[in-house]
Each structure stands twice: as structure tokens, then as C-alpha cells.
Amino acid sequence: MDYEVLRKRMVEEQLSRRGIKDQRVLDAFRKVERHKFVPKDFESTAYSDFPITIGEGQTISQPYIVALMTECLRLTGREKVLEIGTGSGYQTAILAELAKDVYSIERFRSLSSNAKATLHELGYNNIILKVRDGTLGWKEKSPFDRIIITAASPRVPLPLAEQLKPNAKLILPLGEKFSQVLTIFENIDNKLDSRQICSCVFVPLIGKYAYQQ
Ligand code: SAM
């Protein structure tokens, strides 16, 4: 199977045509080998327009939603980014293509180790992973220019709001367990201004400052 052709088609049909415009984001999606981040049995569907199961009851999100969240962050290459929900590591790799440093937290050790192996194989050296409850953030590495939460939360976890730099952005699927609104926040004068992007459905963020087990 020619994965490069499938990647180009994915970018054209699923991203450009639906309004993703940032050339750096589109280039990152053309480059990152999504099929390396899914279980072997699902490799042939890695570039399709739907989420794919990655183990532990979790999923790698649909390419379009990963691109939309990434574009909303308006990365220039200089940022320190915190990601909550490493999952397969695919979104982590996209962020690493577009920002200076990426810190990513996952609650399942098995997912984090698989992601670590894939990201190492692909040669990324600007990513640090950690296993813990991501709703607590990563105080020692804070403050961050951008925070991306790739699981659904009923609120912005307080420690994460506190770990944002002035004028920094945070994006998350905000809402109930089975239906959310993708929402972006900007830290202006120590207050979070919000803007709603679109409705979405993510797996829940399970932790001290989000949903309980
Ligand atoms: N971005 C990932 C990718 O590209 O594969 C997909 C992430 S998946 C939709 C959401 C992830 O968030 C899951 O792997 C889940 O285990 C993780 N998660 C849920 N609650 C968490 C928490 N409190 N801390 C860290 N990770 C969490």
C-alpha cells in the first residue's frame, strides 16, 4: 500500500476541502506517518476519515479533528506546548513538527510506552512524555504557551489554567461525557476568554479535576 499517496489524499480531501488552511499544519499532516501510530490490524485504514481504536478503550482521533485543534493553536515554531492525553502519540508528533518543545501526559502506561517507541523510531527529540493524571498539569515545566487537552472535560482543570503563560491558548472538548463543544481559551489579563469552535465527541478526561473514574 502506498501510504504517501494515501496521506496526500487525506490532506486534500479531509483537511483542505473542509477549510484547514495553515500551510505548516497541512505540511505536517503530509509528513507524519499516521499508519505507524495505529495497531498493525488497522494500518490499512489509518488515513480514513474516522477515529481508530488504540487499546485500553481509547482512540486516535479522526485526522480532521486533530488538524482543526492544531490549527486553532496558531503555532509558529517557538512555543512550549503541553498535551494532555498522549494516546497513540500521533497528535504529539504533529505538535512536535510545529512547536519548539512538546510535553505530553497520558494516564495509561501501556499507551505512553507504545507512543514513546513510535516517536523514538521516527526520530523526534523535542518531546518528553510522562505517565500521570494530566489534570494536575506539569508544574515543574510550566508555564506553557499552549495547552491541548485531547479528552472531554466538564471544565478547564484548574491546575492547567494556572500553568498558562499570559496570552497563551488552551483548547479542549468541553462538556458532557458523550457530547462536547470544542472550545479555545485565551489567557488575557489572568482571565480566560473563550470561543466555541464546533460540536464534537471525545473519550472522557478521567482525573482529579475532570471526570471521576
Ligand atoms: N491525541 C491522541 C492521539 O493522537 O492518539 C488521542 C487521545 S485519546 C482521544 C484521549 C487520551 O486521553 C486517551 O489516551 C486517554 O487515556 C487519555 N486521558 C484521559 N484522561 C487522562 C488524564 N487525566 N491524564 C492523561 N491522559 C488522560
Mean per-residue pLDDT over the chain, rounded:
97
What lies within 8 Å, CB to CB, of 50 at 6+ separation is 62
- Confidence grade of residue 213 (pLDDT, cut at 50, 70, 90): confident
Which residue owns the Cα nearest ligand 1 atom 7? 87
Residue 59 has pLDDT above 90, yes or no: yes
Candidates 61, 88, 104, 112; catalytic one: 61
The length of the chain in residues reads 213
C-alpha cell belonging to residue 201: 465527541
**Tens-place pLDDT, residues 92-142:** 999 999 999 999 999 999 999 999 999 999 999 999 999 999 999 999 999
Q: Give residue 200's pLDDT.
A: 96
- Mean pLDDT over 39-65 rounds to 96
User: Residue 102, Cβ neighbours under 10 Å: how many?
Assistant: 27
Q: What is the largest distance, in Å, between two alpha-carbon atoms of the chain? A: 51
Residue 85 contacts residue 151 (beta carbons within 8 Å):
yes
Residue 173 has pLDDT above 90, yes or no: yes
Q: Give residue 1's pLDDT.
A: 82
Q: Using alpha carbons only, how large is the chain's radius of gyration in Å? A: 16
28 lines ligand 1 (CB under 6 A): no
Q: Any idea which of 26-35, 109-118, 141-150, 183-192 has the lowest mean pLDDT? A: 183-192
Residue to substitute in 32, 60, 86, 131 for testing ligand 1 pocket (most ligand atoms within 8 angstroms of CB): 86
| Number of alpha carbons in the 13 Å side-chain half-sphere of residue 14 | 20
Q: What is the rounded CA–CA span in Å between residue 57 and residue 209?
A: 21
- Partners of 170 in the β-ladder: 147, 185
Q: Are strands 52-55 and 58-60 parallel, antiparallel or unpaired?
A: antiparallel
- Confidence grade of residue 190 (pLDDT, cut at 50, 70, 90): confident
Domains parsed from the chain with CATH numbers: 3-200 (3.40.50.150)
Q: Is 119 exposed, middle or buried (0-12, 13-18, 19+ CB in 10 A)?
A: buried
Give the C-alpha distances (Å, rounded to integers) separating 205 from 39, 45, 51, 127. 22, 26, 17, 21
- Mean pLDDT over 36-62 rounds to 96
- Is residue 16 among the annotated active site residues? no
Among candidate residues 181, 176, 179, 151, the one with its CA nearest the CA of residue 84: 151
Q: What is the rounded CA–CA span in Å between residue 64 and residue 68?
A: 6
96 lines ligand 1 (CB under 6 A): no
